[in-house]
Amino acid sequence: MKNIVLVVALLAFSFGNAQAFEGKGDQKFQVGANIQDYATGINVSFDHGLGENISVGVSSSYALGGADGIENLDFGDRFDLKARFNANLGNVINIDENFDFYPGLNLSLKNFGGHVGARYFFTEGFGVFTEANFPLAKYDNDDLVDIHNQFVLNIGMTFNL
């Protein structure tokens, strides 16, 4: 009986290390595609855990090309930088310990907005993510093509650091 308890405890401990969000001190790096109406680009983000279910970070995107009129835009029109706050709810909804669901808010150079994302880790260090971003309050902008003030879908790879 003692051997069975020991084996179960060791298995539980070994599976417990592959959690998607571990809380305070947890760090995630994500890189992927930024898909929107006017352009397709790249997105990178970094999140740092402050508590059991709270993380803060930064996200940046750069629009590469896409719709008519976008080829004449300068770097400032194509680039966006965001400070972000996430509520990591993977352990609250308890679907799978490798799954993290995170709604949040972000403040960028272009707008104030929200995002809803999900991560799934295949191993302790590598997984995939998808994230939907949407503006809540747009800044005044005189650009003909307003790239970053629309619904945006990010999809790509995520890494534990």
pLDDT at 142: 60
Q: Give whole-number Cα distances, 49 to 6, 53, 122, in Å.
A: 32, 8, 20
pLDDT digits (tens, 9 = 90+) for 116-157: 999 999 998 999 999 999 999 988 666 556 788 889 999 999
pLDDT at 16: 43
Fold classification of 21-160 is: Porin (2.40.160)
pLDDT digits (tens, 9 = 90+) for 44-67: 999 999 988 899 999 999 988 766
Contact between 50 and 28 under an 8 Å Cβ cutoff? The reply is: no
pLDDT at 11: 39
Task: Kindly write down the DSSP assignment for every residue of 29-77, as one continuous string.
Answer: EEEEEEE-SSEEEEEEEEEEE-SSSEEEEEEEEEEEEESTTGGG--HHH
Domain ranges across the chain: 21-160
Instruction: Say if pTM beats, i.e. exceeds, 0.75.
Output: yes
pLDDT digits (tens, 9 = 90+) for 56-111: 999 999 988 766 656 677 788 889 999 999 999 988 888 888 999 999 999 998 89
pLDDT at 101: 94
Query: How is residue 153 written in tokens?
Result: 């879908």
